[in-house]
Amino acid sequence: MLTSLPIIIALYLALAALTVFSTIRASFFVNELDKKTKISGALIGGVLLATVTSLPEFITSITSTVVLDEPGLAFGNVFGSNMFNLLILAVVDLVFIKHLFFNKTTTGLKTNSLIVMMYVILVLPVLLSRLNESLGYGTFDVRLGIAFNVVSLLIILVYFLALRSMNKELPQEKLGSTDRPMKQILMGFFFWAVIVVVTSYFVTVVTNDLSRELNLSASFAGAIFLGVATSLPEMTAVIYLVRIRNYDVALGNILGSNIFNMTIISVVDFINFRTHIYDAVAREAGLGKNVSLLLILGLINSIMVLVALKRKPQKNLVLYALPSVVIIISYVVYIALSI
């Protein structure tokens, strides 16, 4: 364990920067693969690209739970990353408000509806667990005697429904071409993917040390230090895509990343079958409070995106900006209530 705070902070910043850079490079080669193959652009751009940009969240969550035995870091990382992703979308929407971004998107409604469904599936057992624990009845058990939580199974099923939805909703056309040989593309992708895995592992270890040094809860540290760092590739992609007015792909990248993130905890639950990570939410009061707050605010934010996508095109800038403003306020509320 590291002992010097300045060294921990320096290592965190260096590893976070390397994680972001390597994720962006891996994403570049995914884009090259899209140009080179006949596979659906939606499948590669909306699913594979979103998966690559969410790879840091996946590795950090496995490391947090399996290696460090800190499920709070995993919960904070995944749900904090989702909140930060929507914060990115909201801020970019307001910065480029003349684009009227949400008025011009033609996709994402079904996918975002499934994200809302995932939040509901996760919120209910977490709240019931906390209620049962507070009443002295113990943990609300939804495992039904099997090695994993039934919630995890439901989330995985919804994820597969979302894959079908994204494949239908996202643009199918290829954007440009490339002269790079397939072998070079695959080697470049796998090289940077390995770097993402390695740096994500070490940034999790350093974040754990940082949370202890600063006396922060694991879930809050995960939401801020891991969640923000692992969402920076999405921020880079969204700013670029909105500037070139590729609104559907910008939205698809965020929604694809969020729905993959929601599945990470379920996958970790299957991998880490010896213990039940949801039990920690009911057992530890601080963790339960923080995760409940992340889930409720995340649900509210996803509903705001749903409102922005489902309503009629709004020309009044104040009314148009309202969902994005609510998303930004909810993130500030989370920080204020968690410090």
What's the pLDDT score for residue 2?
Answer: 53
Amino acid at 149: N
Other Cβ atoms less than 10 A from the Cβ of 255: the count is: 31
pLDDT digits (tens, 9 = 90+) for 22-36: 878 877 787 777 677
Q: What is the 3-state secondary structure (H, E, C) of 157-212?
A: HHHHHHHHHHHHHCCCCCCCCCCCCHHHHHHHHHHHHHHHHHHHHHHHHHHHHHHH
Please report which residue ranges of the chain form alpha helices under DSSP H: 5-36, 41-42, 49-53, 55-62, 71-95, 109-134, 150-169, 182-213, 218-221, 227-229, 232-243, 247-271, 277-283, 285-310, 317-338
pLDDT digits (tens, 9 = 90+) for 177-213: 677 888 888 898 889 888 888 888 888 888 888 888 8
The answer, yes or no, to whether residue 272 has pLDDT greater than 80, is no
What's the pLDDT score for residue 301?
Answer: 96
Q: Is the pTM of this model over 0.75?
A: yes
- Residue 32 tokens read as 């090259």
Number of folded domains that form the chain: 1
pLDDT digits (tens, 9 = 90+) for 115-130: 999 999 888 766 666 5
Contact 104, 320 (CB under 8 A): no
Residue 58 confidence class, pLDDT cut points 50, 70, 90? confident
Which pairs from 7-12 meet CB under 8 Å and 24+ separation? 8/206, 8/209, 8/210, 8/213, 9/210, 11/206, 12/203, 12/206, 12/207, 12/210, 12/225
pLDDT digits (tens, 9 = 90+) for 278-290: 777 667 777 778 8
Residue 240 confidence class, pLDDT cut points 50, 70, 90? confident
Phi, psi of 141 (to 5 degrees): -95, 115
Contact 47, 163 (CB under 8 A): yes
What's the pLDDT score for residue 317?
Answer: 92
Measured between alpha carbons, how far is residue 260 from residues 57, 108, 155, 268 in Å? 10, 14, 10, 13
**Which of 54, 108, 20 shows the shortest CA–CA distance to 267?**
54
pLDDT digits (tens, 9 = 90+) for 59-71: 888 888 888 888 8
- Which single residue is written with the structure tokens 């300045």? 6
What's the pLDDT score for residue 66?
Answer: 80
Measured between alpha carbons, how far is residue 152 from residues 31, 142, 265 in Å? 31, 10, 8
CATH number at residue 108: 1.20.1420.30
Selected residue with higher pLDDT from 257 and 303 = 303
Selected residue with higher pLDDT from 138 and 52 = 52
**Distance (Å, whole) CA 245 – CA 41:** 18
Q: What is the mean pLDDT of residues 334-338?
A: 89
What's the pLDDT score for residue 325?
Answer: 97
Selected residue with higher pLDDT from 133 and 216 = 216
The answer, yes or no, to whether residue 144 has pLDDT greater than 70, is no
Other Cβ atoms less than 10 A from the Cβ of 273: the count is: 10
Residue 137 confidence class, pLDDT cut points 50, 70, 90? very low
What's the pLDDT score for residue 287?
Answer: 78
Per the structure, the complete domain to which residue 200 belongs is given by: 5-171+179-338
Residue 47 confidence class, pLDDT cut points 50, 70, 90? low
Selected residue with higher pLDDT from 146 and 322 = 322
